Every structure is written in C-alpha cells, then in structure tokens.
Amino acid sequence: MTQTEKNRAADEAQKPASRTTGDKVVIFDTTLRDGEQSPGATMTHAEKLEIAGLLDEMGVDIIEAGFPIASEGDFAAVSEIARRAENAVICGLARANLRDIDRCWEAVKHARRPRIHTFIGTSPLHRAIPNLTQDEMAERIDETVTHARNLCDDVQWSPMDATRTEWDYLARVVEIAINAGATTINIPDTVGYTAPVESADLIRRLINEVPGADEVVFSTHCHNDLGMATANSLAAVAGGARQIECTINGLGERAGNTALEEVVMAMKVRGDLMPWTTGIDTTKIMNISRRVAAVSGFAVQFNKAIVGKNAFAHESGIHQDGMLKNAETFEIMRPEDIGLAGTSLPLGKHSGRAALRAKLKELGIEVGDNQLKDIFVRFKDLADRKKEVYDDDILALVHTAGEGEEHLQLVNLKVVCGTGPAEAALEMEVGGSDHNATCQGDGPVDATFKAVRAIYPNDARLQLYQVSAVTEGADAQATVSVRLEEDGLIATGQSADTDTVVASARAYIAALNRLRTRREKLDGDVAEVSYKDLT
C-alpha cells in the first residue's frame, strides 16, 4: 500500500459509518432506573409517574422507567408509565435471562412504543462472577436477545463494562447481538473508566469493523467517576453514536451518570463544534431539575453546570459591570434558555390567588385548583413572615407540598434554647391521635428529633441532615433534607420553612412516613437483583 493509500485509509477510519451521520441525537433518560439506584434516591410511585410525565413533556425520546423484575413496586411503576406516556418510547431493563425479559415485556407492552433493554457484563471481571466462559456467554447473548426480539420490535442490548472488555470479544458479542435482532447497541462505561479519545475511538471502530453495525443505532452510557461523563458521551457521538443515556442532574450511582442538561446544552450552545440536535425543550430543564432534586433528596450543588444556583450568578464587580453592559460578556447562554425567569420579582402578602397562579405559570408549573388552594394557603402564611416572597420561595412551596394524609403529622412545636441544653415540646399526630413529648438535646434539632422518637419509637439511623437557604436574607426559608436508614431501607424527607427547626421536624417526619410505607410494602415486593440468577 502506498503512503497516499495509507493516508486515505486513515482518514476513512476517522469517519463514522453512513448509518450514523445524521445530526439527530436520541436522548435516553435513565433517571428513574440508574438514577434511582443512588442510595437514598428511591422515589415513591406517585413521584415516578410525575417525573416520567415531565420527561415525556420535555421531549425525551426514550424513558427507561425501571427494572421490572426488581420489585412489584418497580413493575407497577413501569407498567403505569407505559400506559400514560404520550410521546416517548418506554423502556424497561432486564438481565440476560428469559424470566427477566418476560417480566420486562409484561411491564412495557402497554406503551405505544415499548422497548426491552437487556444486558450482561462482558469484561473479564464481570464474566468471572457468573463463571461463564466466553463461548457460554456468547450463547446466552444470542438466546436472550433473540427471545427479546421475538417479543418486541425495539430491543436494546448492552455489554456491561464494555470499556474494560477485550476488543476482540467485544466486537464478537456486538455482532452476535446485532444478528440476534438488537436494534440499538449501547456501549456502557459502567465504572467511569474511559477517556474521551478512547470513547470516540471505541464507537468508531465498532461501527466500521463489526458486520451489520451500519444497520443499528449505537448508544453511549457513561458514569462520572473521573469527572468525564459528559465529555465521554459527546466524544462517543463524535465517533458515531446517536443515542446518549443520561439522567437529570447527573443523578446516579457513585459519582453519578452523564447529566442530561449538560450534553443537551453543550450541543445547543456549541453547535459550531457539535452539529447535532435533540428534541429537548430546554426551557423545561430547570423545573424538572428542581423536582428531581426535591423527590430524590439530592440537592444540586451551587456550582453545578447549567442548573446550579450559581450558574447564572455574578458577584465579581468586573463581571457585574460587564453583565450590565452586555449579558453575553459573561453568559454563554440565557437563563431563559433553561426555563429560568429573566428576573426574580417578589410577591407579597397582598398578592392574590390569580397573581400566584400567573407566577407559577411563568415558572413553568401548571397546577389544579385543589393544589393551588393548598399552595396559596401556605404562600399567605409565608408572606406574613417574610417581607418578600421570591420565585425560589414559591418553588420551595410547590416542591415540598404534602402528599395527602400521612400516618405521622406535625401539629405543634415549641423549642427553648440558650446556654444550657435545648428543650423541644412537640405535639404530633400518629394515625389520627394526638401525642405529646418534651425532650432535651444537644441543640434544638437534636431535642426535636428526640421528641419525635419519644412519640414514635424507631431505630432509623440519620444518614444525612442538610440545610440550605432558599433565598438570601435573615428571613429566608430553609430547605432541610433528611435521609434515614433502617434495616437496609433508606428514605428521604424534605421540607422548607422560615424556621429551620420546624423544617427539620417536618423533613424528619416525612422520612419516617416513607420508611413506614416502604416497610409495609417490603414483604414479597423485592427480588434479589444480582448476577446469580442468569438462567
């Protein structure tokens, strides 16, 4: 081969196959599956339906609604999401065994556009766990993908830990999955091990070298263990992938997953370098980001890209001067692009229900009459205690709204503290009956939590207690997140109030209510999700 021919071959190797040269990138959201696997991020049935509805409305192409075999609760949620989805493909996850796949199909078959996603760990480390040889695993892949395709026309297959799988074996099993009927091949960086140049090259090689690769869509699924999930996902798209798996706020196991808002806005802002499009309505990003943070109990860090509280804040004098003269000097995107109001105008105690509804609509939130009535009552109460009620205060009221009658409810709380031990006098309703307790503790929050335990004895261990101010000022609301663990069950509660101790009590009680509900549903609800049951 001449040097010219070698150069031409090298140039061709850098191009993705023709099947993947379109500019549309499919957004596959796995907040409800991979995101919910974060310890403490478990959502209620109603919350899963709500988040799925917001994702569908925002324009997410595919919603991975859960792992149907994992529990009766997960199966019910996936089934209901499948029935309700108006636009998105609804996908369920299944291990590489027939029972998982059948259960997955039972859940997603109600969708207008169902998908089965089945996977198996292909790296040497993962093959060792079920003790399968390369040939035995290849046979398993062929059998399970074929079975899934016989049930559903849309089948996605993933070689878990693909980025640490030997190249020859990865290429072999990808070809087997394609021949068995997989329509999407997802290449997971399961432990956040790869780097952008490797991510792009791996996808490019698979597309160019595996027979039949030009007939399927390649997908990327990245974790953020080394802080490169977004970069790796975008690099994979440059290599020819046309589906990105991601989550809202980057929620996920360990350091999290690729953040939906980051990859979507990167392509929107830098279309000159990344000439790809998505179907996402970016003006809905901020609302769903806040909602996921609220229901998961995982607050968004202030300096988080796109959706962090400081993402559009400017304190430096030089920055402020530049912003006043031309916002583009220090902002590469507009707050309105992600659904933030250009200004944060306060409401007050004289504002009426119509003004509150208008403000909620401006913030991208539609509420029914009953919900508006509940929010308005609490808004008036807040306005009596604060001089000005800002947009973030309104959002806190909406996102910490109660879910109806609970077994445990705060009735009244009085706290006395000074130089000595704090004392909390608590009145709480338990199953409709009022109970009282007075306890001392090392500070007002400790005394309050002890009073709750005196009325409602429990062995729950406090894993997280987090306080953040909703707005600025001495009269700002505090948002409190509490995460509890008891007998392996984890639950999060959240509340907002101008009184931090009251917010703490409500958040603690909310977490206890969730623990109680999950404990009641535990019997017969959970199936062990492991490598052991692959047959």
- pLDDT (tens digit, 9 = 90+) per residue, 391-403? 778 877 776 655 4
**226 pLDDT above the threshold of 80:** yes
Q: Is the pLDDT of residue 314 over 60?
A: no
**b vs e for 39-63, b when ≥16 Cβ sit within 10 Å of the residue's Cβ?**
ebbbbbeebbbbbbbbbbbbbbbbb
pLDDT at 13 over 70: no
Of the ranges 151-165, 323-337, 355-369, the best mean pLDDT one = 151-165
183-195 pLDDT, tens digit per residue, is 999 999 999 999 9
Report the pLDDT value the prediction gives residue 256, as an integer from 0 to 100.
95
Helix (H, G, I), strand (E, B) or coil at 476: coil
Query: With pLDDT > 70 as the criterion, what percentage of the chain qualifies?
Result: 87
Beta-carbon count within 10 A of 16 CB:
21
pLDDT higher at 479 or 125: 125
Tell me the β-bridge partners of 189: 222
Residue 470 has a pLDDT of: 78
53, two tokens: 């509805």
Q: What is the pLDDT averaged over residues 105-126?
A: 97
- Number of Cβ within 10 Å of residue 435's Cβ equals 15
Rounded to the nearest 5°, which phi and psi values hold at 155? -125, 130
- Under the banding of pLDDT at 50, 70 and 90, the label for residue 321 is low
Both tokens of residue 272?
Answer: 């000159």
Phi-psi region of 249 (alpha: psi -120 to 50; beta: other; left: phi over 0): left
H-helix segments, 326-410: 353-362, 369-385, 391-399
Length of the chain: 535
Average pLDDT, the chain: 87
DSSP string, 397-447: HHHT---S--SEEEEEEEEE-SSS-EEEEEEEEETTEEEEEEEEESSHHHH
pLDDT (tens digit, 9 = 90+) per residue, 472-512? 777 788 889 899 999 888 888 888 888 999 999 999 999 99
What pLDDT shows up at residue 383? 81
User: What pLDDT, on the 0 to 100 scale, is given for residue 5?
Assistant: 46
Task: Please give the annotated binding residues for Mn(2+), written as ranges.
Answer: 34, 221, 223, 257
Structure tokens at 145: 């993908």
Tell me the average pLDDT across 360-364.
78
How high is the pLDDT of residue 529?
52
Query: Tell me, what's the pLDDT at 418?
Result: 85
At residue 7, does pLDDT exceed 80? no
Rg of the chain's alpha carbons, rounded to an integer?
Answer: 25
- pTM assigned to the model: 0.78
- DSSP labels, 143-210: HHHHHHHHH-S-EEEEEETGGGS-HHHHHHHHHHHHHHT-SEEEEEETTS---HHHHHHHHHHHHHHS
Binding residues: 34, 221, 223, 257
How far apart, in whole angstroms, are the C-alpha atoms of residue 294 and residue 13?
46
